[in-house]
Amino acid sequence: MSRFLFLALVLGAVSAAAAPPKQTTPKTAVVTIKTRDGMSLKADWTPPTAPKRGVIIGLHMVETGRMAFQPLLEFAAVEGLGVLALDLRGHGESRTQKGKDLLEAVQRRDPALFTAMPQDVEAALKFVKSKGFASDKVVLIGGELGAQLALTYAATDPKLRAAVLLTPEKEAFGLGAMGPARQWGDRPLLIVTAKDHEALGPKQVYEALDAKTKRRAVLLTVPQEGMKGTRLFGVVPNLPRRLVEWAAIQLGRDAHASKPMPKVKAAVPVPAKKP
């Protein structure tokens, strides 16, 4: 795919980004998700507005939380998608586990804490499955730490539909990205980075993909500098909306769109369907 077409889509129609399409967003419920190792994670669950459309799971940056994915909600409602955004262990309302405050472990980047976090992603997938959405109806959107977790988890779940990685690194938080990138396989993948972070990991992750994967992958470098992960939502016009649109296309938007998005000069390239 051409990253330039996607860039035109992201940066085009900037004036339209100020007001999201009118659509009633379902009420968000705070839920508790249990992991295999006994952690209790708080998450926001916003159900889909269209049955069987699909779900976005949001994985936040280090020392932030699930609120980072609120900019996606109105656009997801337009597309009929559900959104599950969780506080990873040691963060937000998941900070205290089994009577122990994990903030200090987060701040000192304790590898034992971070390398256990793929279980948080696994628990999130289990939750949406209980709502009727298997892995092939899920798109992960992860920022920085969340990008590392999305790649790490996806290596264990080949049925996962697609992922968006916001500023992944070659290795961070004890989670390497290169091995999982080589195992990504024939699935859609979108890597987004600011210009000044491209050479710090995103480009290497993209180059680690095999030739077959690259046919369904995009490395999008935006001109804004000084931001990474979900913080790009606040500086790149239209980005939350266009990421949701991309996710919706991977989940079959063309056949089931609840409401068409306004036309722009360029369109997101649609990956060819498997025969």
Which structural domains are found in the chain, ordered by start?
3-17+29-253 (3.40.50.1820)
3-state SS string over 86-107?
A: ECCCCCHHHCEECCEECHHHHH
The answer, yes or no, to whether residue 13 has pLDDT greater than 60, is no
In this predicted structure, the answer to whether residue 268 has a pLDDT above a threshold of 60 is: no
Q: What is the DSSP string of 203-258?
A: HHHHHHS-HHHHTTEEEEEES--S--GGGGGGTSTTHHHHHHHHHHHHTTHHHH-S
For 95, the token pair is 């900070």
- Mean pLDDT on 94-108: 97
- pLDDT above 60: residue 184: yes
pLDDT, mean of residues 236-252: 96
Q: Does the pLDDT of residue 109 top 80, yes or no?
A: yes
Band (pLDDT 50/70/90 cuts) for residue 253 is: confident
**pLDDT on residue 51:** 82
Which residues, in sequence order, are CB contacts of 235 under 8 Å at separation 6+? 224, 226, 227
Instruction: Determine which helix (DSSP H) or strand (DSSP E) holds 75, and give its type and residue range.
Output: helix 73-79
Is 14's pLDDT higher than 90?
no
Beta-bridged to residue 166, according to DSSP, are 143, 192
Instruction: For residue 1, give the DSSP letter.
Output: -
Report pLDDT digits (tens) over 131-151.
Answer: 999 999 999 999 999 999 999
Q: The tokens of 140 are what?
A: 């992960």
Helix (H, G, I), strand (E, B) or coil at 105: helix
Which pLDDT value is given to residue 16? 40
Q: What is the mean pLDDT of residues 15-40?
A: 77
**152 three-class SS:** helix
Tell me which residue has tokens 């990474």: 228
Nearest alpha-carbon partner for 143 in 239, 214, 47, 217: 239
**What is the spatial distance between Cα 79 and Cα 73, in angstroms, rounded to a whole number?**
10
List the single range of 17-26, 94-103, 256-265 with lowest mean pLDDT: 256-265
Q: Which residue has the tokens 């992958």?
A: 217
Sign, Cα dihedral of 158, 159, 162, 168 = negative
pLDDT in the model for residue 100:
97
Helix, strand, coil percentages in the chain from 3-state DSSP, rounded to 5: 40, 20, 40
Query: Residue 253 and residue 53: Cα distance in Å, rounded?
Result: 8
> For 100-104, 160-164, 200-204, 254-258, which range has the lowest pLDDT when averaged over its residues?
254-258
pLDDT value of position 11? 45
* pLDDT attached to residue 22: 56
Rounded to the nearest integer, the mean pLDDT of the chain is 87
How many C-beta neighbours within 10 Å does residue 272 have? Answer: 8
Whether residue 49 contacts residue 257, with contact meaning beta carbons closer than 8 Å, is answered with no
Looking at per-residue confidence, does 258 or 23 come out higher?
23
C-alpha–C-alpha distance, residues 89 and 118, integer Å: 10
